[in-house]
Amino acid sequence: MNLDIISIGDELLIGQTLNTNAHWIAAELDKIGFTIRQHTSISDNKEHIVKTLTDALDNSNVVLITGGLGPTNDDLTMPVLNEYFGGKLVVDSDVYKDIERLILGRGFEMNENNKRQALVPDNCKVIRNPNGTAPGMWFERGNKVVAAMPGVPFEMKAMITDSVIPWLKQKYVLPEIVHQMVLIQGLPESKLAEVLTDWENNLPTNIKLAYLPSPGRVKLRLTSKGANRKQVQQGIDEQVEKLTQLIPQYIYSTDNINLEELVGKLLLNKQATLATAESCTGGYIAHLITSISGSSEYFKGSVISYSNEIKINELGVNPTDIETYGAVSQQVVEQMALGVLKKFKVDYAVSTSGVAGPTGGSLEKPVGTVWIAVASKNRVISKQFTFGKLRSVNIERSAVAALGMLREVL
């Protein structure tokens, strides 16, 4: 059952407004069984609206439109849809009362623009808007539906939740759709695809696989649909089990739990504490850890040792080692981890030192060279990484790699 989303408004096209509506609608309609065929953002232009709507109806069962329902002359969605479906604009008394109640309740008087918003096509089903002055419209053509709503997010969301979704469930028999995320760290996308070639080639035809990479991590999304949710989930669970046997050391979650949350859970289970000593990451690891509610139970603090002076004076790094090996070295990063472990009296510590770029690299240590260490009271481990040229990406990759190393130790 295909569904198209059309977002109308010049402000979307020129970047003045981020189209969060399409993102939210897609997620909500996917949950109830629709296959989202296409998102389209278009201008407030009659010909463009008609052409886009016609294409959507040729390819999808349902079309949801947002935007262009305001009271001003540049809002064209209402008259265009009225003409498209061959209707006649009439005053809807219930809509008029809704608008009047809202306007008067805000201490204003009804003007002509407000009154015109009570005009709706006589061949549509009105979608009441309790939070605004623009009503929505529901049209049917054969077994297909077109529903139009305002672009104001909180108005649109209420109308989708309270009216559109219940009406769609009444009209259509929808399949069950299951998405399963498998979160992987430590293998780049290209290498992961190579390792999983046989497994992927033997997936059942009703299960679709998508690779969703981000710096330092890859999400695998398995999707399947069917009439019985339990059976659909069982089919996906069988494939996830095969996957966990194939690459157990790289999978950190099958429940869509992010790495910083998982590390927090592991620390809580051990009743252990953590501190960080960060140079090239500049506190980003601490930021990720403290983004999790309850992290104060296990995270004690951080030293942002960006300069050699701080490495020496606050973390006890040997200045001779910095001079001999450089700040970006195994010797220095391990001393940083042990230094913050001792300073904060914690059970575990993570440290980073690297060349984030885009300047500062050398032939021996090019931009993207990062050393990471994880220390406990019993041992310290360290590893060198070579990332890319982009500063922000290097920082994120370094933080993810550090959390990944900590996860392995825990």
> What is the number of residues in the chain?
410
Please report which confidence band the pLDDT of residue 126 belongs to, taking 50, 70 and 90 as the band edges: very high
Q: Are domains 176-253 and 259-409 of this chain identical in fold?
A: no
Render pLDDT for 159-191 as a digit per residue (tens, 0 to 9): 999 999 999 999 999 999 999 999 999 999 999
State the pLDDT at residue 322: 98
State the pLDDT at residue 72: 75
User: Rounded to the nearest 10 degrees, how much is the dihedral formed by the CA atoms of 144, 60, 211, 216?
Assistant: -80
Please report which confidence band the pLDDT of residue 112 belongs to, taking 50, 70 and 90 as the band edges: confident
Render pLDDT for 186-240 as a digit per residue (tens, 0 to 9): 999 999 999 999 999 999 999 999 999 999 999 999 999 999 999 999 999 999 9
Category of 107 on φ-ψ map: left (φ > 0), alpha (ψ -120 to 50) or beta: left
What mean pLDDT comes out for the span 76-103? 93
The domain limits of the chain are 2-171, 176-253, 259-409
What is the overall mean pLDDT for the chain? Answer: 96
Please report which confidence band the pLDDT of residue 266 belongs to, taking 50, 70 and 90 as the band edges: very high
State the pLDDT at residue 286: 98
**Considering the chain, what percentage of its residues have pLDDT values greater than 70?**
100
Does residue 282 have a pLDDT over 90?
Answer: yes
Render pLDDT for 324-376 as a digit per residue (tens, 0 to 9): 999 999 999 999 999 999 999 999 999 999 999 999 999 999 999 999 999 99
State the pLDDT at residue 109: 87
**Model confidence, pTM:** 0.83
**Considering the chain, what percentage of its residues have pLDDT values greater than 90?**
92
The Cβ of residue 307 has, within 10 Å, a number of other Cβ atoms equal to: 12
Tokens 């997010």 — which residue?
153
Render pLDDT for 51-77 as a digit per residue (tens, 0 to 9): 999 999 999 999 999 999 987 777 899
Q: Is CATH 3.30.530.20 what the domain over 176-253 is classified as, yes or no?
A: no
State the pLDDT at residue 161: 97
Token pair for residue 342? 């001792």
- Percent helix, percent strand, percent coil in the chain, to nearest 5: 45, 25, 30
Please report which confidence band the pLDDT of residue 302 belongs to, taking 50, 70 and 90 as the band edges: very high
The Cβ of residue 364 has, within 10 Å, a number of other Cβ atoms equal to: 8
State the pLDDT at residue 247: 97
Give the C-alpha distances (Å, rounded to integers) separating 336 from 118, 313, 319.
Answer: 68, 11, 12
Does residue 26 have a pLDDT over 80?
Answer: yes
Tokens 């349902």 — which residue?
62
Among the four given CATH numbers 3.30.2320.80, 3.20.20.80, 3.40.980.10, 3.40.47.10, the one describing domain 2-171: 3.40.980.10
The Cβ of residue 77 has, within 10 Å, a number of other Cβ atoms equal to: 26
Q: CA triplet 30, 46, 126: central angle to 5 degrees? A: 55
If one looks up domain 259-409 in CATH, what number appears?
3.90.950.20
Strands 217-226 and 274-278: unpaired
Round to whole Å and give the CA distance between 84 and 241. 51
Tokens 């960006």 — which residue?
306
What mean pLDDT comes out for the span 252-271? 96
